[in-house]
Amino acid sequence: MLIDDLNSIKCDIEPSILDLSIGDIAVKVEPLNKKAKIMDAFLRFMKDEKLNLIPVVDKNTVIGQLHRNRFLENTVLGRFGYGIHLNAKKCVFEVMEEPTFIIDYAMTLEEASMIVQKRELKKIYDDIIVSKNNEYHGVVPISVLLEAITQRSLIIARDANPLTGLPGNWAIQREIERRIKCKCLFDVCYIDINHFKPFNDCYGFEKGDRVIISIGNILKETAKNFPEIFIGHIGGDDFIFISPPKVSISICQNIIKAFEELLPYFHGEDFIKGYYISKNRKEENEVFKLLSLTCAIVSTETRNITSFAHLASIASEVKAEAKRIARISNGSVVFKDRRND
């Protein structure tokens, strides 16, 4: 079920919306050379009332900025209204501010937003200067950044699983492809519930939903302790997390421990017996052990993963082996593929 879901993901959402970097939404505002006169900057601001910030460059490298309000107030007006007469012959180099921040073209919108929030209050709404290969690229108005983040958040929210609120298939694929592209080493762990269908048949779908929601909550709590972890809900009883290789097994063990502490709540009186009776696939009564989890881990430490589809095909084999071990053990299993390509 898990791998079929992964392979059948359809990217109906426009990729360009979700994969934008800060550089993709930058506006090309013509910069001023550091030797330009104050009057040149003044006339630029007067001709374009929407122009909020002009970068100052030296050989296309940003060395400063002119902010509309502060420039007009401090340089043009001045303390007694004579600023333009006192400063008219000066170069912008003499009155420019240091750039509040210069952000690299490839930075994600979320990363840029976090940086913006750390600026001092009086500069928090300044346009963002963007560089590419250490040269000036453009500026991003804060309103444009917020609009892009809002649109993307709405798209991702629509993709999120309605039961757990966790990111769904598109976000999962996007995150995996992002980590492959940046050549980060990571583990992908696929988690599903052993014998979940007979549990639903025995206890009812409402109780089954509580189990699903509980696993979602466990993953959310786990993510609080591991900043580099990504958690998602593929669908049904299939979950996923992506983490640095060295912590994936311990994360699985923590998830299983938290899950097993809830078994009395899930099974009620059957918990004491250690089993429950439900229908199997042949519609025959069968004795089933209490709920348990299978955790199948694929690692880029030992596998040269080149794409999301490549990962899905490898995961199919790894998950099948993990399930085989789970059937033998009749309990929760953590299986990490350690084979080299």
The full DSSP string for 240-291 is: EEEE-GGGHHHHHHHHHHHHHTTHHHHHTTHHHHTEEEEE-TTS-EEEEEPP
333 forms bridges with which residues in the sheet? 294
The pLDDT assigned to 79 comes to 58
Percent of the chain with pLDDT over 70: 91
Residue 221 in 3-state DSSP?
Answer: helix
Q: Is the pLDDT of residue 148 over 80?
A: yes
CB-based burial of residue 338 (10 Å sphere; 0-12 exposed, 13-18 middle, 19+ buried)? exposed
- Per-residue confidence band for 81, with pLDDT thresholds at 50, 70 and 90: low
Q: Is the pLDDT of residue 10 over 50?
A: no
Mean pLDDT across the stretch 46-73? 92
Q: How far apart are CA 172 and CA 8, in angstroms?
A: 13
Kindly report, residue by residue over 189-236, the tens digit of the pLDDT: 999 999 999 999 999 999 999 999 999 999 999 999 887 899 999 999
267 vs 280: which has the higher pLDDT: 267
Q: How far apart are CA 65 and CA 95, in angstroms?
A: 9
The pLDDT assigned to 209 comes to 96
Q: How far apart are CA 199 and CA 52, in angstroms?
A: 61
Kindly report, residue by residue over 272-308, the tens digit of the pLDDT: 999 999 988 888 899 999 999 999 999 999 888 999 9
Q: Is the pLDDT of residue 251 over 70?
A: yes
Q: What are phi and psi of 100, to 5 degrees?
A: -60, -50
Q: How far apart are CA 109 and CA 152, in angstroms?
A: 10
Q: Which of 101, 41, 48 is nearest to 70 (CA)?
A: 41
Q: How far apart are CA 184 and CA 293, in angstroms?
A: 27
Q: How far apart are CA 34 and CA 31, in angstroms?
A: 9
Q: How far apart are CA 57 and CA 63, in angstroms?
A: 5
295 forms bridges with which residues in the sheet? 191, 334
The pLDDT assigned to 84 comes to 65
The pLDDT assigned to 86 comes to 66
Mean pLDDT across the stretch 116-141? 89
Q: What are phi and psi of 339, to 5 degrees?
A: -75, 145
Mean pLDDT across the stretch 256-277? 95
- Per-residue confidence band for 18, with pLDDT thresholds at 50, 70 and 90: low
- Per-residue confidence band for 325, with pLDDT thresholds at 50, 70 and 90: very high
Q: How far apart are CA 85 and CA 77, in angstroms?
A: 9
Starting at the earlier edge strand, list the strands of the sheet with 102-104. 102-104, 128-132, 135-140
- Structure token pair of residue 305: 């993963």
Mean pLDDT across the stretch 16-33? 85
- Residues 136 and 60 sit within 8 Å (Cβ to Cβ): yes
pTM listed for this prediction: 0.65
Residue-averaged pLDDT of the chain? 87
The pLDDT assigned to 13 comes to 39
Q: How far apart are CA 136 and CA 132, in angstroms?
A: 6
Residue 119 in 3-state DSSP?
Answer: coil
Mean pLDDT across the stretch 53-58? 95
Between CA 247 and CA 20, with CA 2 as vertex, the angle to 5 degrees is 70
The pLDDT assigned to 249 comes to 96
Mean pLDDT across the stretch 1-13? 36
Rg of the chain on CA atoms, in Å: 28
Q: Which of 192, 115, 159, 223 is nearest to 9 (CA)?
A: 159
Could you tell me the domains of the chain?
18-147 (3.10.580.10), 164-336 (3.30.70.270)
The pLDDT assigned to 17 comes to 62
- Per-residue confidence band for 6, with pLDDT thresholds at 50, 70 and 90: very low
The pLDDT assigned to 206 comes to 94
